[in-house]
Amino acid sequence: MPVNAERSDTDVLISNGLDLDGAPLSLRLRHGSIAERAPSLAAHPDERVIDAKGCTVIPGLHDHHVHLRSAAASLDSIQLGPPVISTHAQAVRAVQTAHPRADGWVRAVGYHESVAGHLDRGVLDHWRSDVPVRVQHRSGALWIVNSAGLHELDQAEHPDGLLFRRDADVGRRAGDTGGNLTAIGKLLSALGVTGCTDATPDMGSATIDYFDEEIRTGRFRQNVHLLTRRDHTTRAVTFGPVKRILDDTDLVLDDLVAWIRDVHDADQSIAVHCVTVAQLVLTMVALRSTGIRPGDRIEHAAMVPSDALEELAELGVTVVTSPNFISERGEQYLRDIDASCHHQLWRVASLVHAGVSTACGTDAPFGDIDPWACMRAARTRSSPSGAVIGAAERIGSRQALEMFLGAADSPTRLRLLQPGHSADLCILAATPSTVLADLSADLVRTTIVRGEVVFRR
C-alpha cells in the first residue's frame, strides 16, 4: 500500500533488479547516494533489503517544467475546460453547483473559449454572483473574475474582470497559501517522480522560503529546482536559469537583450517562455546579440519553423518542450491551426535530429501532471480522436522515457545507476520490454528519493 516515507539510518540494498538494458542489477544505497552497483550484492547485517523480484529499476523521473504551487491549488479547484467540461451548459452547471473553498472562493481552472466563448465579469455574474468566483484560462496567462471577486481583490479598475499576467497578485490578494503541496508530493511519488523543476517566474523570497520549509520539514519529498534568481543563503532547493515570459503584444528586442545580459552578468542562465514563432525568433535574435551561457533554455518552443532548427542547434540552447499537449489539446489544434503548420507544433524528433538538446516537462497544472502520458504522446502524436499530428515528430519509447531522466541542472545529461549518483530511483513492476511498451504510471511499484522510500505498493 502507499506510504508517505520510510526513513532509515541503515544502508538499503535493492536486489534482483534489471536495468533498462535488461542486465541484472543490485544497488547499495548509503546516505542518499548509490554506494555500490553489481549484478548481485550480498546483504550486510541489519541492512534493509528491497527485493526487486526481476523488475526494472530506473532513475526517478524528473519533470523539467512544472508549476508546483499552481498544481497544488488545482487540487481543490473545479475543472472548467476540456476534456472534463466541453459545453456551455456543463460550464454553467459546474460553477453554479461548486462549493466554495475554505477561503470562500469558487476557483476554476483550464477554461478555453471552445467551451462557452468569451468569458468576462458580466458572464460570470450571470453564472454565479453570490460568492467570489475566479476562472483561470487554460494558457495560465489570464484570470476572469466576477463582481464579488473583484470587490474582494480591490480591483475596481478592471471592470471587465480580465486580469492578465496577474497570477501572483491574484493569489496573494485572494489569500492563496500555495495549496496542499503534500498532496501533490504524494501524487508525484506515485508517478515515480523524484524531482521537479518549478518554472514559475519571478519568485520572491517568500515563495523560496515556502519551498525551503516544505522540503526541510518533509512535507514535500521531491527534489526542487527553481527557475528564478538565485538566493545566496543555504537552501534545500537548487537554482537554475532565470525564467522570463514573453507575450506577442510586448515584444521589445532591446528590453530582452538587456535582461539577458543582466542575468548572465549575475552568473545565471536564462529560460525564455516561447509559445509562438514571433517569441522564438525574437529570443534567437537576442541570444545572437548577447551570446549563449551554458544552461540557457527555451521553454516550450510550441511552434518551431523548420528554418529555425539549425539555428537553435548552432546557438546551443536547451529546449524543454511538452508534447503532452498534442494528446490533450489536439482537437483544438486541428480546428484552429492550419494543417500546413501542424508539423511545427511541439516538435521533438526534428529538434533531436538537428542536434538541439531536448528534454520534456508536463507544464502541470496546465498540462496533465503524469509524465508517462507525456511520453506516450511523444511516441504516438495522437489527438484524443486518434488523429496523428506531426507524425515525423514521433520518437521511440526509450527516447521518450529518457526525456525525463536528465539532471535538473542539465536536462539532457542522463542520471545513471552508478556509485556517486543520487539515490533517486523508481522500481517498475515489469521487465524493461514491458515498461517501454506500456510507458504507464500503473507500473510504478516503489519510488525512492535520496535513499528513502516515499511510495510503494
Name the amino acid, one letter, at 24. Answer: P
**Confidence grade of residue 171 (pLDDT, cut at 50, 70, 90):** low
Q: What is the CATH number of the domain that holds 434?
A: 2.30.40.10
364: three-class secondary structure by DSSP: coil
Same domain, 319 and 399: yes
Q: CA-to-CA distance for 446 and 317, rounded, in angstroms? A: 34
**Full domain range(s) for residue 87:** 76-174
The pLDDT value given to residue 233: 84
The closest of 66, 89, 91, 87 to 78, measured between CA atoms, is 91
Same domain, 110 and 141: yes
Domain-embedded: residue 66 = no
- Cβ 43 vs Cβ 12: under 8 Å: no
The DSSP 8-state label assigned to residue 303 in this structure reads: B
Domain-embedded: residue 253 = yes
The pLDDT value given to residue 166: 75
Same domain, 426 and 406: no
199: three-class secondary structure by DSSP: coil
pTM of the model: 0.91
Same domain, 442 and 359: no
Q: What is the CATH number of the domain that holds 345?
A: 3.20.20.140
Same domain, 202 and 119: no
Lowest-confidence pick of 149-158, 229-238, 316-325, 444-453? 149-158
Burial code (b: 16+ CB inside 10 Å, e: under 16) for 305-338 equals: eeebbebbbebebbbbbbbbbbbbbbbbbeeeee
Encode pLDDT of 94-116 as tens digits: 999 999 988 889 999 989 999 99
Name the amino acid, one letter, at 284. Answer: M
Residue with cell 525525463: 404
Count of domains forming the chain:
3
Same domain, 152 and 268: no
Same domain, 319 and 200: yes
Residue with cell 503548420: 341
Same domain, 319 and 435: no
Contacts of 433 (CB under 8 A, 6+ apart): 22
Encode pLDDT of 299-326 as tens digits: 999 999 999 999 999 999 999 999 999 9
Spatial strand order of the sheet with 162-164 comes to 78-79, 106-111, 133-137, 142-145, 162-164
CA distances from 262 to 26, 257, 267, 270 (A): 47, 9, 9, 10
The closest of 326, 318, 271 to 302, measured between CA atoms, is 326
Q: What is the CATH number of the domain that holds 117?
A: 3.10.310.70
- Cβ 140 vs Cβ 167: under 8 Å: yes
Contacts of 27 (CB under 8 A, 6+ apart): 13, 14, 17, 34, 36, 37, 41, 57, 417, 423, 425
Same domain, 81 and 208: no
Task: Please report, in angstroms and rounded to a whole number, the separation of the first and last CA atoms in the chain.
Answer: 4
The pLDDT value given to residue 225: 97
Same domain, 425 and 394: no
Domain-embedded: residue 65 = no
Same domain, 410 and 421: no
The pLDDT value given to residue 334: 95
CA distances from 11 to 36, 159, 362, 452 (A): 11, 61, 33, 10
Contacts of 231 (CB under 8 A, 6+ apart): 205, 208, 239
Encode pLDDT of 371-416 as tens digits: 999 999 999 999 999 999 999 999 999 999 999 999 999 999 999 9
